[in-house]
């Protein structure tokens, strides 16, 4: 599927075969410093997925010209204020932004992070339809950058292709962490492309 670029006023949305990304270009112009909050997880998922995703987006934001508040500093502020990223109100967002000296806060939630085996239909060398057991990897992430003072969304993003069934002809990805890295890389490329218009 070809990349799709939708422009409506100053709100740009990009859709491609891996992600759904929306960027508010006016709001993006006002953001210089970002605080990355601890990413949430759906119940039962590995914290590693959240840590990897947080680190990826912190690095991605820096690569795109934003200053990022140190993770340890943000953690200390949340602890001191007895707050968690999942239960923040608009007033909390404003307060955290002021305490961290951040123009915007990045929220994230890992929605899926699992692997296993499933039965799939394939065509054998004789052209016959057969069933086979294949490994699958499933990772889905939603992120949102919100201006701490105005409360408006600067960008939001979610990957649209969450699941990958391993093809026996190809080695990669060979585990869930490799698939997660591929998904994050795709999200990064799409976000970078959308943010280029703010420069």
Domains along the chain with CATH numbers: 4-198 (3.40.50.10610)
What's the predicted TM-score (pTM) here? Answer: 0.83
Helix, strand, or coil here: 3? Answer: coil
> Residues of the chain with pLDDT > 70: what percent?
88
13 pLDDT band, cuts 50/70/90, is very low
Q: Let me know: does 38 contact 55? Beta carbons within 8 Å.
A: no
Measured CA distances, 171 to 123, 166, 174 (Å): 19, 8, 6
> Where is pLDDT greater, at 168 or 183?
183
pLDDT over 90 at 53, yes or no: yes
Lowest mean pLDDT, pick from 97-101, 118-122, 150-154, 170-174: 170-174
pLDDT on residue 90: 73
Q: Return d(Cα 86, Cα 27) in angstroms, integer.
A: 23
Q: Return d(Cα 162, Cα 184) in angstroms, integer.
A: 11
pLDDT on residue 173: 86
Q: Return d(Cα 124, Cα 81) in angstroms, integer.
A: 60
- Average pLDDT for residues 31-50, to the nearest whole number? 95
Give the pair of three-digit tokens for residue 145. 């950058």
**Per-chain mean pLDDT for the chain:** 86
Residue 86 β-bridge partners: none
């Amino acid at each position: 599927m070809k990349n799709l670029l939708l422009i409506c006023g100053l709100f740009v949305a990009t859709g491609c075969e891996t992600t759904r990304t929306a960027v508010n270009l006016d709001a993006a112009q006002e953001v210089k410093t970002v605080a990355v909050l601890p990413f949430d997880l759906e119940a039962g998922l590995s914290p590693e997925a959240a840590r990897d995703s947080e680190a990826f987006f912190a690095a991605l934001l820096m690569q795109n010209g934003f200053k990022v508040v140190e993770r340890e500093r943000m953690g200390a502020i949340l602890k001191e204020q007895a707050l968690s990223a999942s239960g923040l109100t608009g007033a909390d967002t404003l307060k955290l932004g002021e305490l961290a000296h951040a123009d915007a806060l990045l929220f994230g939630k890992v929605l899926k992070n699992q692997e296993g085996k499933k039965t799939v239909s394939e065509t054998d060398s004789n052209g016959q339809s057969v069933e086979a057991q294949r490994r699958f990897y499933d990772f889905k992430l939603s992120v949102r950058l919100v201006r701490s003072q105005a409360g408006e969304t600067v960008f939001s993003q979610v990957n649209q292709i969450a699941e990958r069934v391993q093809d026996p002809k190809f080695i990669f990805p060979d585990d869930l962490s490799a698939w997660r890295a591929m998904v994050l890389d795709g999200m990064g490329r799409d976000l970078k492309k959308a943010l280029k218009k703010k420069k």
